[in-house]
Structure 1
Amino acid sequence: MSLADHTIWYHVYPLGALGAPVHEGGGEVVHRLGALEPWLDHAVSLGCSGLLLGPIFASVSHGYDTLDHFRIDPRLGDDADFDALVAACRERGLSLMLDGVFNHVSTQHGLVAEESPMLRRSNGHLYTWEGHDNLVELDHTRGDVADWVTDIMLHWLRRGIAGWRLDVAYAVAPAFWREVTGRVRHEFPDALFLGEVIHGDYGAIADAGALDSVTAYELWKATWSSIKDTNCWELAHALERHQAFSAHHVLNTFVGNHDVDRIASLVGSDGAALAASVLFTVPGMPSVYYGDEQGFTGERGTGAYADDPIRPPLPASPADLLPAGAWLQRVYQDLIGFRRRHAWLSRGRLSVVAKENAWIEYAVTHSDDRVDVRLELAPVPRVQVRASDGEAWEWSA
């Protein structure tokens, strides 16, 4: 069984969560990774079974401007800290997935200084990614780039990780991913590859790149905007498309990540509970962005510091979380527990039963198993979940 079939990820952006100076790279080694250990226990208490880490490799600033894919960012620690984290995850039964930035590198990367042919050029000039002058794209048509990325992936898989999130996977030709993942799977047949994809036919993209999963941004958008606008017709449409995309793949479902406004800021804490109810009752491989389970708020701004509000420091330990978020955390625990007891939901078949502006009913089936969900947005937010085995769960604001 693939990790995609049963893993629920706790997604952490480590530079922000651990209080590192996000806009200042380099410097002496500061052993921050160890501070994640109590949060591993928190993830387990929620019911999560995997840790999805944002960038941890040496970079100029936010982690996506990589300097060295083989070195832990000194703001987070060193190899010993990483090995300790792998061991701590293993002790708790948590799989570990790392964020691989293989579309581009920092302009300060050694490849740039060496004027390497591995970099993409246009009319002799380095090709920058989506207008970011400090990020240079790799030339994914070259065999030595495929060799290099394969070596990086294998290095960290040998160190104990379970798979890779592929940053900006949508900007790389699927043939490149198919080549690299095929090579890696010769040694690690069970490695998980999750591609970041925004638009398009998710299933076809996953097929073309030989990826296990891709990010379900369409469902994310419809979930929060349907709740915000009291428009279950939009959610129904997205659920039907999600089923079509999920026919042969388990998509990565989410209601928050390091690139989007916090769900509680978009729809309020009651709306966040409704969103979580969708997240854990539809097909897919769910991920929980750190703090969403507590109702953390934050909206993206503009400029160099735009992402800081959605990537905040965590308290020193879960015991320091504010009591006001405890009720939502319990909602997450209940829903994740239900999901794990009905793990077949990851590959279930979803159908919309009925809908109006303010409510929707849908069902997910697999062989003789069935889960029915009724989501009411107004006048009072309410969720009812019923399983064919007799288990039921309800929540009301």
Structure 2
Amino acid sequence: MSDCDVWYHLFPLGFLEAEEANPDPGGEHRAVTHRLPALVGWLDYLVGLGVTGVLLGPVFESETHGYDTVDPLRVDRRLGDEADLVALFEECHRRSLKVGLDAVLHHVGRRHPHFQDVLARGEQSAFRDWFEIDFGRPGHDGFAYTNFEGHGQLVKLNHANPLVLDWAVDFANYWTQRGVDAYRLDAAYALPVDFVAAFAERVRAARPDLFLVGEVIHGDYSQIAQDARLESVTQYELWKAMWSSLNDGNFFELAHALERQAGFCERFTPWTFVGNHDTTRIATRLDDKRHLDLALALLFTLPGVPAVYAGDEQAARGRKFDRPGGDARIRRPPPEAPGQLSGERLASYLRHQELIAARRQRPWLAEGEVRVVGLENRLMTYEVRNDGASVFVALSTEDHPVSLQLPPGLNHAAGHGDSHLPPHGWGVWASE
């Protein structure tokens, strides 16, 4: 991973408007729809935005949303085939864009052939030890099995079985050999850390610079990252504090999160974001649309590995609902195609472009040390320093102008350019 990496995270099944359900998951009669080549038409747009990598959500053969995997060595027929995916990798690399994939190692879909064999043969199945099954306890299928967080369609793997680890490593190595640079480990917080650590050791034996980020929603981020040997984990604490503090006019919450962020950065590099495929869009979440720029200033000046969720760069709207299919609105394609942006959508794209450029000019920000300088309910200033270089950031949700005391020797880098912030204003200044 490079210090100046900025990722673009997209959910292919939604971005490419695929059908909600796979008509024949795992079957032999594969009617393939070649949607993946359409992503190539977005790559120059992403280069112009300034990102350095593309993280793809689930792309492998599955039943519905991609996380109910049926075959991780075959591309989902709703998206295309292996040739389409490898061609996309090559087009990304031709533009110096890295490629990351979702690795779903905690569970599989019910239509996975190993679980289908268990359903057919019961205790006589050669794959009975691949899953956490209690044949002595009644269940819908004649026995009970462990699933993922109450979702019966997602069958938990038995990570104590060494064959499961071999399967996970073989999957990762297969796609790494075809050009993958990174994996996002789905539901890493639910995976045994010794399993993830063994996986990380073995896949890095084949590709030492392979970047691994774990999805960690709750738990001890630092301990999980360290014990599981992950370079990064998702920083949900910071995500929540950013939009919540802006909505509530309470920068004290954010200050606490920044103190926590500083501690995390001493042990790993957090994956930072203002939205992803599981969260309400930031432009919807914020009560005041003027605060969108403030959230972006945070994302691109704080230490970590920042990621832009597809469509957020166009200020896309969408709310996540806690119901089946409740993710649909946040997984749609960006509102406008490349070359067609105007108005609010163009302004948001240009703001992202400006801040990403400012960050990439200062790659040391990824591992900088953050310190809150001034703190009021609705006004905050902080600085990020590293080896004598510094960035100073001011954020205001006040309804009136505010005056700042800027440190000497700084130059304007983004946002408002002088020490007098307008209502709901922000600015970034840097020492170089």
Question: In structure 1, how many angstroms separate the alpha carbons of the residues matched to 2:82 and 2:95?
Answer: 20
Q: Are residues 1:229 and 2:251 paired? A: no
Post-superposition Cα deviations, 1:144-197, rounded to whole Å, max 9, x if no partner, equal 111110000000000001010000000011110100110111110000000000
Kindly provide the amino acid, as one letter, of the partner of residue 360 in structure 2.
R
Residue deviations 1:322-354, cap 9 Å, x none? 532111111111100000001100000111111
**Cα gap change, 1:383 to 1:167, in 2 (>3 Å):** farther
**2:224 matches 1:205:** yes
- Cα distance in 2 for partners of 1:200, 1:169 equals 11
Deviation at 1:123, TM superposition (A): 5.8
- The equivalences for 1:283-294 within 5 A come to 283-294=303-314
Taking the aligned partners of 1:77 and 1:248, their CA distance within structure 2 comes to 40
Q: Tell me what 1:51 maps to.
A: 54
TM-score where L is the length of structure 1: 0.95
Is structure 2 residue 92 aligned with structure 1 residue 89?
yes
Tell me what 1:21 maps to: 19
**Would you say 1:332 and 2:352 are equivalent positions?**
yes
Report the Cα offset of residue 17 of structure 1: 0.5
CA–CA distance in 2 between the matches of 1:380 and 1:262?
A: 27
Which residue does the alignment assign to 1:120?
132
Matched, 1:139 2:158: yes
Task: Give the partner amino acid of 2:117.
Answer: E
Instruction: Establish whether residue 394 from structure 1 lines up as the match of residue 392 from structure 2.
Output: no
How many residues in Structure 1 have an aligned counterpart in Structure 2? 395
Do the aligned partners of 1:9 and 1:49 also contact (CA within 8 Å) in 2?
Answer: yes
Letter in 2 for 1:250: T
Change beyond 3 A, Cα 1:380–1:189: farther
Tell me if structure 2 keeps the 8 A contact 1:10–1:289.
yes
Equivalent positions of 1:274-353 (< 5 A) are 274-314=294-334, 317-353=337-373
Deviation at 1:301?
2.0
Are 1:361 and 1:372, in contact at CA under 8 Å, matched by a contact in 2? yes
Could you say which residue in structure 1 is the equivalent of 2:42? 39
Displacement of 1:318 in angstroms is 1.2
Aligned position for 1:194: 213
Is 298-307 or 133-142 further displaced after alignment? 298-307
Corresponding position of 1:377: 397
TM-score (norm 2): 0.88
Q: Which amino acid aligns with 2:70?
A: L
Question: Structure 1 residues 25, 335: closer, same or farther in 2, change over 3 A?
Answer: farther
**Residues 232 and 355, structure 1, Cα contact 8 Å, conserved in 2:** yes
Q: Whose Rg is larger?
A: 2
1:364 aligns to what SS in structure 2?
strand
* Aligned partner of residue 51 in structure 1, secondary structure: strand
CA distance in 1, matches of 2:378, 2:334: 35
How much does 1:380 deviate?
5.9
SS of structure 2 residue aligned to 1:345: helix
DSSP-derived class of the 1:140 partner: coil
Instruction: Quote the offset at 1:23 in angstroms.
Output: 3.4
Identity of aligned residues (%): 42
Q: Which runs of 4+ in 1 moved over 4 A?
A: 380-389
Partner of 1:153: 172
The answer as to whether partners of 1:126 and 1:136 remain within 8 angstroms in 2 is: yes
Query: What is the Cα-based RMSD across aligned positions, in Å?
Result: 2.0
Would the aligned equivalents of 1:111 and 1:119 in 2 still touch at CA under 8 Å? no
Match of 1:12 in 2: 10
Instruction: Give the CA deviation at 1:261.
Output: 0.3
**Compared with structure 1, are the counterparts of its residues 392 and 382 closer, same or farther at alpha carbon in structure 2 (3 Å cutoff)?**
farther
Q: How far, CA to CA, are the matches of 1:294 and 1:31 in structure 2?
A: 26
Structure 1's 82 and 231: CA in aligned 2 closer, same or farther, altered over 3 A? same
Alpha-carbon offset, residue 24 of structure 1: 4.0
Quick one: distance in 2 between partners of 1:319 and 1:381?
36
- Give yes or no for contact 1:270–1:381 (8 Å, CA) kept in 2: no
Q: 2:193: which partner in 1?
A: 174
**Counterpart residue identity of residue 82, structure 2:** D
Moved more, 246-255 or 261-270: 261-270
Q: Is the 8 A contact 1:370 1:387 kept in 2?
A: no
Q: 1:378, CA displacement in angstroms?
A: 1.9
Give the aligned partner of residue 65 of structure 1: 68
| Partner Cα distance (2:40, 2:21) in 1 | 24
User: 1:220: which partner in 2?
Assistant: 239
Q: Does 1:247 align with 2:266?
A: yes
Q: Indicate the SS of the match to 2:301.
A: coil
| C-alpha contact (below 8 Å) 2:246/2:291 kept by paired residues | yes
Report how far residue 313 of structure 1 moved.
Answer: 2.8
**3-state secondary structure, aligned to 1:114:** helix
- Match among 157, 173, 183 for residue 202 of structure 2: 183
Please state whether the residue corresponding to 1:280 is helix, strand or coil: helix
- Whole-Å Cα distance in 2 between the matches of residues 54 and 185 of structure 1? 21
Structure 2's unaligned 5+ residue stretches are 25-29, 119-126, 137-143, 417-421, 426-432
Report if aligned partners of 1:386, 1:392 keep a CA contact under 8 Å in 2: no
1:303 offset after TM fit, Å? Answer: 2.5
